[in-house]
Structure 1
C-alpha cells in the first residue's frame, strides 16, 4: 500500500507545475475578458452558435455561467447556449495541458467540440425559434459566488493556487482509486466494468458528465490518461460536462421543462458523437 501511495504521489506531483501555470493563465483570462466576452456573445445573434462554440473553448470556468445567465435573460438563443455547453471542457483542458504527451489529444478534443458545438447550435436554432421565459434572477446575481471568491483572494496567483491544490488533491484521489482497483483486480476487470470497447462506454461517460461540478471532467480526463476509457467516451463525457453552467440553470432558472430539454439535447449530442468516435477509433 505504501509503495502504491508513493507511486501515485510521484506521478501526480510531476504535473503540478504545468497545472498551476494553466490555472494562472485561466485566471488572467477570466479577470481580463469576462465582460468583453459577455458583450460579444450577447451582441452576435446571427453568429451566436459560432461565437459561442469558439468562446466556450476558452478554459475558464465562468463562461458557461455567463452563457446560462444570458440565456435566462433572453439575450442568446438556445442554440448558442448549447454551442457554449458543448464546447466547454471544464477542468479537462488544464489537466491535459499538465500532461505534455497529451497535447495531440487536447487539440483533437478542442477541434471536435468546436465543430460539434457550432453545427448543433445552428441546427437547434433552425428547429427551435424561441423559449418561454419565467421570472428569473437578475444576471448580476449569477456572478455572486465568483465575486465573493475574488474579494477573499484578490490575487490571481492565490486563486490559481487554491484551484490547483483542489484539483491536485482530487486527481491524486482518483489516481489512487484507479491504481488500487488495477492492483487488486487487474486492468482488464476495470476496463470490462466500464464497458471498454463497447457502445456502453460513451453512454456511461455521458451520464458521468452531468455531475454538476469539476468532478466529472477530472475523472474522465484521468481515466483517459490511464488508458481506461476511449477517446469517444472522453469526448461524450466532456460534451455533457458544462461546468457550472448547468448548476446555475438548476438553481436560478424557473422553467424546469426547458432545463430537461437542454439536458436531453446535450445527452443526445454526446451519445451520438461519442458512439461515432468509438466506431471510428
Structure 2
C-alpha cells in the first residue's frame, strides 16, 4: 500500500507542470474563441451537428454547459446538442499532453470523436425529428449564459493552478486505486475482465462517463493509459463525458422527460460506437 501511494504521488506530481501550461494555453484560447464559437453554434441552422462536432472539440470546460443553456433556450436542436456532447472530451486532452501521449494518438481520438459527433447528430435529427428540429427562438432570448466560461472571478493563472491541482488530485486517487488493484489481482486479470466479456467494458465505461464531473474523463483516460481498458470502452466513456453539460441541462431544463431522452440517447450512442470500434479492432 505504501509503495502504491509513493509511486502514485511521484507520478502525479511530475504531471503538474504539464497540466498547468496546458490549462494556461487552453484558457487563453477559450477567452479568444468562446464568443465566436457560441455565435457559430447559434447561427448553424440545419448544419448544426457539423458545427457542434467541430466546436465541441475545442478544449474549453464551459462549452458543453453553454450548449445545454442554448438547448434549454430553444436555440439549438437535439442533434446539435448531442454532437457537442459527443465531441467534447473534458479533461482528456490535458492528461494526454501531460502524459506525453504521441500527437498522432491524440489527434486520431479527437478526430474520431468529431466525426462520430457529426454523424450521430444527424442521425438523431432523423430519428427524433419531431423534437430535434430547430425550435422557435424566443424574441426576448439574449443568449447570456450564467457563469459562462472557466475564468469567472479569477485570473487566468490562478484558475489554471486550481484546475491543475483539481485534476492532479483525481489522477492521484485513481492511480492509487489502480496500483492497489493491479498489485492485488494482476494487470492481465483486470484487462481480461473488460476484454473477455463482450460489451461489458463499453457499458461500464459509458456509465462512468455520465458522471457530470471532470473525474469521469480522468478515470477513463487513466484506465486507458494504464492499459486496463481498450479503445472501445475508452471511446464509449469519453463520448459520454460531457463534463458539466448534463448537470446544467438537468438543473436548467423544466422537462425531466427531455433530460432522460438526452441522457439515454447519449448513453446508447456512446455504447454503440464503442462496441463498433471494438468489433472492428480499431486502435488509436
Query: TM-score normalised to the size of structure 1?
Result: 0.91
Post-superposition offset of 1:6 = 2.3
Post-superposition offset of 1:143 = 2.6
- For residues 203-257 of structure 1, give each alpha carbon's deviation from its aligned partner in whole angstroms, at most 9, with x where no partner exists: 1111111111111100000000000011111110111111111000111101111
Shift of the 53–8 alpha-carbon distance from structure 1 to 2, 3 Å rule, reads same
- For residues 125-174 of structure 1, give each alpha carbon's deviation from its aligned partner in whole angstroms, at most 9, with x where no partner exists: 233335398xxxx7767433758x622x1x21110110001101110110
- Look up the match of 2:31: 31
- Look up the match of 1:176: 176
- Look up the match of 2:84: 84
- Look up the match of 2:138: none
**Cα distance in 2 between the residues matched to 1:6 and 1:139:** 52
- For residues 16-60 of structure 1, give each alpha carbon's deviation from its aligned partner in whole angstroms, at most 9, with x where no partner exists: 222111111121122222222111110110221101100000011
Post-superposition offset of 1:94 = 0.9
- Look up the match of 1:274: 274
2:15 is the alignment partner of 1:15: yes
SS at match of 2:237: helix
2:262 is the alignment partner of 1:262: yes
Shift of the 115–156 alpha-carbon distance from structure 1 to 2, 3 Å rule, reads same
Superposition pairs of residues 186-201 of structure 1, within 5 angstroms: 186-194=186-194, 198-201=198-201
2:146 is the alignment partner of 1:143: yes
**Cα distance in 2 between the residues matched to 1:105 and 1:33:** 25
**Cα distance in 2 between the residues matched to 1:38 and 1:141:** 11
Shift of the 231–119 alpha-carbon distance from structure 1 to 2, 3 Å rule, reads same
SS at match of 2:45: coil
**Cα distance in 1 between the residues matched to 2:111 and 2:68:** 23
Query: TM-score normalised to the size of structure 2?
Result: 0.90
Post-superposition offset of 1:102 = 4.1
Is the deviation greater in 7-16 or in 165-174?
A: 7-16
Is the deviation greater in 183-192 or in 46-55?
A: 183-192
Given that residues 142 and 248 in structure 1 are in contact (C-alpha distance below 8 angstroms), is that contact kept between their aligned partners in structure 2?
no
State the Cα RMSD in Å. 2.2
**Cα distance in 1 between the residues matched to 2:13 and 2:275:** 34
Shift of the 95–65 alpha-carbon distance from structure 1 to 2, 3 Å rule, reads same
SS at match of 1:150: coil
Query: What stretches of structure 1 of length at least 5 have no aligned partner?
Result: none
SS at match of 1:100: coil
- Look up the match of 1:52: 52
